Amino acid sequence: MLQKLVAVVIGSLLLAIGINGFLVPHHLIDGGIIGIALILHYFFDFQTGVTMVILSIPLVLYAWLYQRTYFYSSIQGLLLSSVFIDWFSPLRTVFPVPIYVSAIMGGCIIGLGIGLMLRYETSTGGTELLAKFISNSSSLNIAIVIFIIDGLIVTAGSLTLGAQSFVFSCFTIMIIGIITSVLEISD
């Protein structure tokens, strides 16, 4: 139980640092719920963390009704990640690096955070939870499912992003998927 709590705290911190320090400065997006929350942040200045919680309500309710263990495993990650993402918003001006460095660093840091949480069977609740449901009911690796969902979100967001942000967002998601997969395999 203590290991899971530590994984949630460290994973949430890594997520917040990766998003605020590297993705937001260049209007890059992640996939899934976080990606949708980032798109809403870029266009309407909504708080990313609060938006994540609101968007995750249907998945959390599904988990509560049908997969109670996943609900308990993901609600802490969802709430802590969303709080940290909003608290760490000042990091948006701390790392003035080129977009390609942001894509690589953001992907690595976010991938470590998500992979760490998934390794200890917890998540941020959003599409990682959806990916967990799909992975458990099929033979697909969870990292591949996350990659597919994230790709769909970034593709949908491509209408609102410039070509450069779109390409580097895809690169970021690829890195997140690889890091997450490596952490899952090394179990």
Nearest CA among 49, 39, 174, 183 for reference residue 106: 174
- For the chain, 187 residues long, give each residue's pLDDT as a single digit of tens: 889 899 999 999 999 999 999 999 999 998 889 999 998 999 899 999 999 999 999 888 888 988 788 788 788 899 999 999 999 999 999 999 999 999 999 999 999 998 898 888 887 777 777 877 788 888 888 778 877 887 788 887 777 778 888 899 989 988 988 898 888 666 5
Nearest CA among 111, 142, 147 for reference residue 129: 142
Per-domain residue ranges of the chain: 2-185
Percentage helix, strand, coil for the chain under 3-state DSSP, each rounded to 5? 80, 0, 20
Instruction: Say what the pTM is.
Output: 0.88
- Say which DSSP state 88 is in: T
